Chain A
Amino acid sequence: METKFRESIDKAVHNPNLTGALGRFSEAYRISRAKAYEGYDFEALRTQIAERKSYAASHLDELADLFTRNAEARGTKVFRTNDPAQVREYILNVARENGVKSVVKSKSMASEEIHLNKHLEAAGIEVGETDLGEWIIQLAGQTPSHMVMPAIHMTKEEVATVFNEQVEEGQEPDIPKLVKFARGKLRTKFLNADMGITGANIAVAETGTLVIVTNEGNARLVTTLPKIHVAIVGLEKLMEKFDDVVPVLTALPKSATAQLMTSYVSMISGPVPNTDGTPKQLHVILMDNRRTEMSQDPKFKQAMQCIRCASCLNVCPVFRLVGGHVFGKIYTGGIGTILTAWFDALKSSDDIQSLCIQCGNCTEVCPGKIDIPGLILELRRRLAVEKGQPLAQKAIFSVVNKRKLFHSMLRAAYVMQKPLQKGNFIRHLPFFLSDMTEFRSLPAIAEAPLRDTIKKIKQPACQEKIALYAGCLIDFAYPEMGESLVKILNKAGIEVVFPEGQTCCGAPARYSGAYEVAAQNASDNINALLANDVTYVVSACPTCTVGLKHDFISTFESLGQTDSLPRARQLADKVIDFSSLVKKLVDEGRLKFKEGQQLGKITYHDSCHLKRTLHATQPPRQLLTQAGYEIAEMYEADMCCGMGGTYSLKLPEISAPILERKLVNIKNSGAPVVVMDCPGCVMQIRGGLDKQRSTIRVEHTAQRLADELE
């Protein structure tokens, strides 16, 4: 990671204006977005958008031709190119031919993608951004920090200062007055401009129509007052039919700003008369800039389904800390990382892709149904292939790939940690490792791993057998979680077997882009876990469960190792997470809770993989309620705790503030105990509470339930 990048993170997380504004916004957004979608079937809507956009992505060439024919038939000039330089040249030519001295722009990400303003200004043309936020940052000489709200990082005081210094003295930090001032200043620009430049939100092929969505009304003025209108349209905006406008226009305002509809929508299908009666010159530039290539990539084609609503930014626990000046280039946040890798260069995404903690929040709200974290992993994989893995990482994974060596090193760590250990925690690490324990204690490696202690448990002889996949954390740090699980399943008349050959699930390697390592881990585990005749393979770690159930398959697919797929699928069919299994056993009457217990308040933290990949939010809550606990829901129970596996080691400066929010929410719930289904979350949250000397207990659901069953 580049030092400059680390510095930009540091600057962002220590900027209270930025984190305050983004934090408050993300909290308000969640509620207002839900309200905007009331009465709508979001799943059906986004399925329709994804389907129509995906169709367009598969027929880009055809739709671009159709758009061109239809638009030209009505007098629009259409220019299509893959080359950003040609886009700029075309606009400069139009400007030269018509003696254009000043340009007004409404918001266009495509124009920013090709750094248009700089080139127009170099040619002596005055360029005025007219979207208020864009104008502010243009005056301030900054770049947008958010795709929809470009100046969200600035306070009214800062805006007033920018106006005072760049436009006219005497502006007060009063928002209505600042807006009024901007209206007056920009009005003159609108009236004097010779050319208007816009983007478009949709380009309808069958009618040659541009759909432009705004709230301020600037696009209406930009397309009405100047005699020339140039629209720069990325090819991903193409849609086949006019009726395709409906789902996008239904979702975009709700997802972007939680509005039912934006103040203005303009649908332009050809030149209209100017105010002096002459016909307007209408130019549409269909800009490719690698979009065709993207649409032909089997993995990244789905990124063409993006409607640029920026909801992935608004729900991202990392974005709300660091904002768009760290997280992205022109396009920001999760989707911005992907677009940067394509429209700029893969290597430009090298640092920013590491910001994704893989929590999956964005996948729940994306109206284009894009698997953003999945695509970021794919970027990581391609980057690792292109430039190779860092040496230290390579060394670690070469150990992880040799199970016996890896496990004997973990055992040795138990001895080596002794001087650092206090109780069950390591509170301080020396030297360069100190970052890891600055904001939370680390768990001490257990004296005996689960693979040893499980042998000492006297299990009843049962007909039904279930295999336990422990995962590294439970095996070596928290064997007691595994022991609780054994106790519970034994009560249901099930014997738990522990296949010795099991090893790391491969998540650390996969999430670092080291897919070859992950594939080796997958093969070793498949061999170990399919060796026994069992009804299920259960895991009490959701990340491992996702590994066994989904990631093995996807890793093999990514590497083209199709031979390995049948057995990976065979395993996947047997895999189940702890709470879902126990809930099933309770429902079948094979497990019974002790009757009439009143066990008091607890609060529950949803682990990312459990909620968003395994969709098991209810089973643990139902089990805990049935046991006799009263669940006091914390605020943002399903927000990531900042662990993210190795993320918290790589980016402790981001992991720590995410954890801090989580701890505040836990404390505010008033419950003396917080329960969760993931040993990784336990490690993070328990470590954080230990650092704060809190008395709140942190436990795995299995531990809480083990003693409450008959």
Chain B
Amino acid sequence: MNAVFETFKLRAEAVSAEVHRFPRKNEALDFILHYLHDVGISETPQTGAVWASCPFLDGFDQKQLSSQLPGLSFDVNREASAEAKVGISQLDWAIANTGTLVQDAARVDQRLVSTLPLIHIALIRSDRLVPDLPSALSKIRPEQTNYISFITGPSRTADIERVLTIGVHGPEKLIIVFFDGVCDEPGRVN
């Protein structure tokens, strides 16, 4: 597992993603809240954060989180996402040998928070890490969903003079947060 994670980290970092890993959900949440605070999430325009509903949030009080951090919204829509600085969502699978995240993205909020804001924080359960593309495609198939998204690093272009430039249409920063699924309440693994 650790070797696979190290491969993922290496590959993802090679394409300019940030990778973090926390044994507990609380620690992952703390990290995210601190991060949002540090990048100045607030209620003023262009500085909000949108968080698409996801299993990770189960057990956390969203209202309390919003009041703790004004500017953080769990009500994801087109306008809020277009205005937001940070988007947060949980992804379903991670592919180690390419540093890729995979998601059932049929729900539009899943795509809004990961395409429109400048920064995307991607949550992923550590046990959802698979070694390669074939193993990922055996887990998530088109029969289950109309839209599957693969995300590997932030948005990039080399269209002007072949100079690699990050953040053309999608996020210019991708922060990947693994959590080990060790749960604070026994019997609940998200």
**Is B82 an interface residue, CB under 8 A from the partner?**
yes
Question: A interface, by DSSP: helix, strand, loop or mixed?
Answer: mixed
> Cβ of B170 < 8 Å from any Cβ of A?
yes
B145 to chain A: which residues have CB within 8 Å? 269
- With an 8 A cutoff between CB atoms, is A246 at the interface? yes
Produce 1/0 per residue, B159-185, CB < 8 A to A.
111110101111100000000000000
A38 CA to B148 CA, complexed, in Å: 27
A246 contacts B134, CB within 8 Å? yes
Query: A183, B142: Cβ atoms under 8 Å?
Result: no
Interface string of A164-197 (1 = CB under 8 A from B): 0000000000011011101100110011000000
- Output the least CB separation between B124 and chain A (Å): 16
- Among the 9-residue stretches A217-225, A515-523, A576-584, A638-646, the one with 4 or more Cβ atoms under 8 Å from chain B is A217-225
Closest to B118 in A: A183
Residues of B near A220 (CB, < 8 A) are 111, 114-115, 149, 169-170
Q: Tell me the residues in window 137-160 of chain B with beta carbons closer than 8 Å to chain A beta carbons.
A: 137, 141-143, 145-160
Measured between beta carbons, the chain A residues less than 8 angstroms from B189 are none
A19 beta carbon closer than 8 Å to chain B: no
Contact B146 A224 (CB under 8 A): no
| Nearest A residue (CB) for B171 | A217
Are B11 and A217 in contact, with the CB atoms below 8 A? no
With the chains together, A190 CA to B81 CA distance in Å? 13
Chain B residues lying within 8 Å of A311, measured Cβ to Cβ, are: none
* Chain B residues with CB under 8 A of A132: 157, 159-160, 168
Q: Is the CB of A149 within 8 A of B158?
A: yes
Asked if B112 is at the interface of the complex by the 8 Å CB criterion, the answer is yes
In the complex, the answer to whether A264 meets B162 with C-beta atoms within 8 Å is: no
Verify if B54 is at the interface (C-beta below 8 Å from A): no
Say whether B150 contacts A265, CB under 8 Å: yes
CA distance A131 to B157 in the complex (A): 9
B-chain residues with CB within 8 Å of residue A190 when the two chains form the complex: 169
Question: Does B141 lie within 8 Å of A242, measured CB to CB?
Answer: yes
A369-400 near B? 1/0 per residue, CB < 8 Å: 00000000000000000000000000000000
Give CA–CA (A255, B157) in the complex, Å.
16
Residue B107 lies at the interface, judged by CB distance under 8 Å to chain A: yes
Number of A interface residues, CB 8 Å? 67
Assess the A267–B148 pair: CB atoms within 8 A.
Answer: yes
Q: Is B44 an interface residue (CB 8 A)?
A: no
Chain B residues 65-98 with CB under 8 Å of chain A are 77-78, 82, 95, 97-98
Q: Which of A209, A267, A273 has the most CB of B within 10 A?
A: A267
The reply to whether the CB of B133 lies closer than 8 angstroms to some CB of chain A is yes
Distance between B167 CB and nearest chain A CB, rounded to angstroms:
7
Q: Is the CB of B112 within 8 A of A275?
A: yes
CB–CB B160/A261 < 8 A? no
B150 and A275 form a contact (CB under 8 A): no
A263 touches B99 (CB 8 A): no
Of the candidates A25, A178, A242, A272, the one whose C-beta lies within 8 Å of that of B108 is A272
List of B residues within 8 angstroms of A187 by Cβ: 82, 169
Q: Is A151 part of the contact surface with B, judged by Cβ < 8 Å? A: yes
Interface pair B141/A215, CB less than 8 Å apart: no
Report if A94 contacts B (CB, 8 A).
no
Closest to B78 in A: A275
A150 close to B (CB within 8 Å): yes
**Chain A residues, CB < 8 A from B169:** 130, 183, 186-187, 190, 216-218, 220-221
Contact A216 B155 (CB under 8 A): yes
Asked if A508 CB lies within 8 Å of chain B CBs, one says no
Interface string of B109-146 (1 = CB under 8 A from A): 00110111000000000000000011001000111011
The residue from A208, A215, A268 contacting B157, defined by CB atoms under 8 A apart: A215
Instruction: Report chain B residues within 8 Å CB of A136.
Output: 159-160
- Given A131-B159, A216-B169, A217-B168, A249 and B133 contact (CB-CB distance below 8 Å): yes
5 CB-based A-B contacts, threshold 8 Å: A130-B169, A149-B162, A217-B170, A259-B152, A272-B107
B residues near A, CB below 8 A?
Answer: 11, 15, 77-78, 82, 95, 97-100, 105-108, 111-112, 114-116, 133-134, 137, 141-143, 145-163, 165, 167-171
Question: Which A-B residue pairs are the 10 nearest by beta carbons?
Answer: A217-B170, A133-B159, A265-B150, A270-B146, A269-B142, A217-B155, A267-B148, A275-B78, A261-B98, A207-B142
